[in-house]
């Protein structure tokens, strides 16, 4: 039976490259000369800790980070920006969580959307991936199109297509 997996993984090297390119661009920009800018990625917990002089500069840094990440091939939904920045002394600080792996509640939403579509496939949650099996590859391709069309707010990869 044909099958494929839906996952939500972030390549650590690609993420690190995007952050380094952003850091390099920020240091070369005229409006950031002499400014306090810190970007540190905790590679174990996938948290990006950022510091800047003001809230406006923090917004500019995040814009550059998202555009450079997209050029590296990362989905902008990888960054969870729900936490607001806060001021600590003279600097603004912000922690951005990088979404890595499929959480149980997100997996349940995806499985529900697949089942509600009426396609003749069987989705199954397996740890942090969803395995979708069906009798025809065309049905599996419709599931991929359905998932791309629906905005779940997380980056999805479709891997291990087997026929």
pLDDT in tens, 72-90: 999 999 999 889 999 988 9
End-to-end CA distance of the chain: 6
The boundaries of every CATH 3.30.70.990 domain in the chain are 12-98
Q: What local confidence, expressed as pLDDT, does residue 151 receive?
A: 86
Token pair 């890595």 is found at: 100
Q: Specify the fold of 3-8+101-162.
A: Alpha-Beta Plaits (3.30.70)
The boundaries of every CATH 3.30.70.860 domain in the chain are 3-8+101-162
pTM, rounded to two decimals: 0.84
**Taking CA 123 as the corner, what is the angle to CA 119 and CA 127, rounded to the nearest 5 degrees?**
165
Looking at domain 12-98, what is its CATH homologous superfamily? Answer: YajQ-like, domain 2 (3.30.70.990)
Strands (E), 1-104: 3-7, 38-42, 47-52, 79-80, 86-88, 91-98
pLDDT exceeds cutoff 90 at 98: yes
6: confidence class by pLDDT, cuts 50, 70, 90: very high
Q: What local confidence, expressed as pLDDT, does residue 133 receive?
A: 95
127: confidence class by pLDDT, cuts 50, 70, 90: confident
């Amino acid at each position: 039976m044909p099958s494929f997996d839906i996952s939500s993984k972030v390549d650590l090297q690609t993420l690190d490259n995007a952050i380094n390119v952003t850091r390099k661009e920020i240091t070369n920009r005229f409006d950031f000369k002499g400014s306090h800018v810190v970007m540190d990625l905790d590679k174990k917990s996938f948290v990006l800790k950022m510091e800047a002089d003001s809230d406006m500069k923090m917004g500019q840094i995040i814009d550059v980070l998202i555009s450079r990440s997209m050029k590296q091939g990362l989905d902008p939904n990888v960054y969870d920006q729900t936490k607001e920045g806060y001021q600590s002394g003279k600097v603004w600080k912000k922690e951005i969580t990088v979404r890595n792996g499929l959480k149980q509640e997100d997996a349940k939403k995806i499985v529900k959307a697949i089942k509600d579509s009426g396609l003749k496939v069987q989705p199954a949650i397996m740890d942090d991936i969803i395995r979708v099996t069906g009798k025809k590859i065309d049905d599996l391709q419709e599931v991929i199109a359905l998932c791309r069309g629906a905005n779940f707010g997380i980056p999805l990869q479709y891997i291990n297509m087997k026929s």
